[in-house]
């Protein structure tokens, strides 16, 4: 198909620019900016819209910049490197506003004036504490292409912390590293903030064998900034080879982060640890602004009871519990609950309780027993929390704080919450992922009639 000319009307969810054909059909184009005129080729026809790739920028936006990464446009990870950072924040605000405006619930368009500009990240490159790479059939690590299983080999990622890139370059010089890659499906590199060293985690299909562990010992000894090598798989416990002594352990190993006091909320530092194969926010510095926002919205005091759903290892739970009367954290993953309990004990807290359970199931139990909380915090995965709104209405006495990593599911769930008797008070995006279209949003809702 020949190239066509398009005017980019706006940015939409997913990192696309929206344009239209002469017949009005919507065309979604990557790596363009609002206001630009581009030449593009249709690559995919779908019901109601088409996708295209830009082949030339005819009239560029003043916000267009040269992308700093040589893999940009090939690797499927970043989609906003061609845009200056100030405009990236504005685009993300507009994407959320566009979804609110088009949402079917009557209350959502009225929330647009409550939408703030995203909180900027302290680092716009070199911010990721964790990097996960795919390993192709030839044992070469990299990132997948956009909408493809094909792996793009990389030797450096500009979003990764400098410590990770240094270790990654050193690993490539080691024959033992390449012998282990052939046996793996994924490779993770994690910066341990407590030691400033890197953990190398291989995902294996089968259990690691003595020969594999010997290679890990050689690798750990050869790279000074490598703290340990780990093997992880669905059918066996994580195995860790420490660099200091080559010691092998099968117990979970943790990484530790020291949070500073949060002005107006906590007056002492907080130590949070999580298991190397578990979840944590990858932008550790921006995570501080995320926690600060949640604390400010919660308005907890010594009389306040808090329910933290999808609590993980206690990223919000521990700071919230330090200024609350009580906190109950619920999480479906056992490793995260195990770590949350340890973090609470480390903080000297006696007002917390953490339970492992599917979220909907536990909320039903709480509601059936007549329990309710002054503030409920919910931080669901990307799919959101469908059908949970009626239960949240029964459990929340006053304030509900919803932390979202997907604007589309945020709008869906907040729409259900407004039907259940909540009103939106604030919407604060937090830019956890510069150079990408992904955006975290903290929504404050209050019951129209407190319990």
Q: What angle do CA 132, 216, 178 make, to 5 degrees?
A: 60
- Name 208's Cβ contacts closer than 8 Å, sequence gap at least 6: 202, 216, 231, 233, 236, 239
Tokens of 194: 């407590």
Tokens of 431: 């830019």
- Measured distance CA(339)–CA(412) in Å, rounded: 31
Strands 141-144 and 396-404: unpaired
Answer for the pair 230, 208: CB distance below 8 angstroms, yes or no: no
- Name 227's Cβ contacts closer than 8 Å, sequence gap at least 6: 192, 195, 197, 198, 199, 242, 243
- Measured distance CA(18)–CA(52) in Å, rounded: 10
DSSP secondary structure, 280-319, as one string:
--SBHHHHHHHHHHHHHHH---TT-EEEEET-TTTTTHHH
**Residues β-bridged to residue 7:** 37
- Name 46's Cβ contacts closer than 8 Å, sequence gap at least 6: none
Q: Judge whether 405 counts as a catalytic residue.
A: yes
Set 75, 375, 405, 411: catalytic member: 405
Backbone angles phi, psi at 350, to 5 degrees: -120, 10
Q: Across 68-195, where does the E strand assignment appear?
A: 130-135, 141-144, 151-153, 184-192
Tokens of 200: 């190398």
Name the nearest CA neighbour of 441 among 397, 386, 402, 414. Answer: 402
Residues acting as catalytic residues: 405
């Amino acid at each position: 198909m020949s190239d066509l000319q398009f005017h980019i009307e706006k940015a939409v969810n997913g990192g696309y620019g929206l344009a239209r054909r002469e017949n009005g059909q919507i065309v979604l184009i990557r790596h363009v900016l609002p206001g630009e005129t581009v030449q593009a080729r249709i690559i995919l026809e779908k019901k109601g819209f088409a996708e295209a790739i830009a082949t030339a920028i005819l009239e560029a936006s003043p916000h267009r910049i040269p992308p700093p990464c040589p893999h940009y446009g090939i690797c499927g990870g970043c989609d906003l490197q061609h845009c200056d950072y100030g405009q990236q924040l504005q685009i993300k605000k507009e994407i959320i506003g566009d979804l609110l405006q088009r949402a079917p619930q009557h209350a959502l368009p009225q929330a647009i004036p409550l939408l703030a500009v995203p909180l900027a990240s302290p680092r716009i490159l070199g911010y990721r504490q964790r990097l996960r790479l795919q390993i192709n059939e030839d044992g070469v690590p990299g990132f997948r292409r956009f909408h493809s299983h094909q792996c793009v080999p990389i030797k450096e990622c500009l979003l990764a912390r400098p410590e990770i890139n240094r270790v990654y370059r050193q690993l490539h010089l080691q024959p033992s590293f390449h012998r282990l890659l052939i046996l793996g499906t994924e490779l993770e590199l994690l910066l341990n903030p407590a030691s400033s060293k890197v953990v190398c985690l291989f995902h294996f299909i089968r259990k690691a064998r003595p020969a594999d562990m010997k290679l890990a010992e050689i690798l750990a000894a050869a790279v000074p900034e490598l703290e340990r090598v780990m093997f992880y798989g669905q059918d066996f416990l994580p195995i860790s080879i420490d660099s200091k002594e080559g010691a092998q352990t099968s117990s979970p190993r943790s990484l530790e982060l020291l949070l500073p006091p949060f002005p107006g909320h906590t007056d002492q530092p907080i130590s949070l640890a999580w298991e190397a194969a578990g979840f944590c926010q990858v932008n550790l510095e921006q995570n501080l602004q995320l926690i600060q926002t949640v604390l400010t919205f919660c308005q907890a005091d010594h009389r306040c009871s808090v329910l933290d759903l999808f609590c993980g290892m206690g990223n919000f739970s521990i700071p919230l519990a330090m200024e609350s009367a009580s906190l109950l954290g619920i999480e479906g993953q056992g490793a995260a609950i195990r770590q949350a309990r340890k973090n609470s004990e480390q903080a000297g807290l006696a007002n917390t309780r953490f339970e492992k359970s599917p979220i909907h199931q536990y909320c039903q139990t709480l509601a059936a027993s007549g329990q309710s909380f002054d503030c409920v915090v919910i931080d669901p995965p990307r799919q959101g929390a469908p059908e949970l709104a009626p239960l949240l209405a029964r459990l929340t006495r006053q304030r509900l704080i919803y932390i979202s990593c997907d604007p589309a599911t945020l709008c869906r769930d907040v729409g259900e919450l407004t039907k259940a008797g909540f009103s939106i008070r604030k919407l604060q995006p937090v830019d956890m992922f510069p150079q990408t279209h992904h955006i975290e949003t903290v929504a404050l809702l209050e019951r129209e009639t407190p319990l």
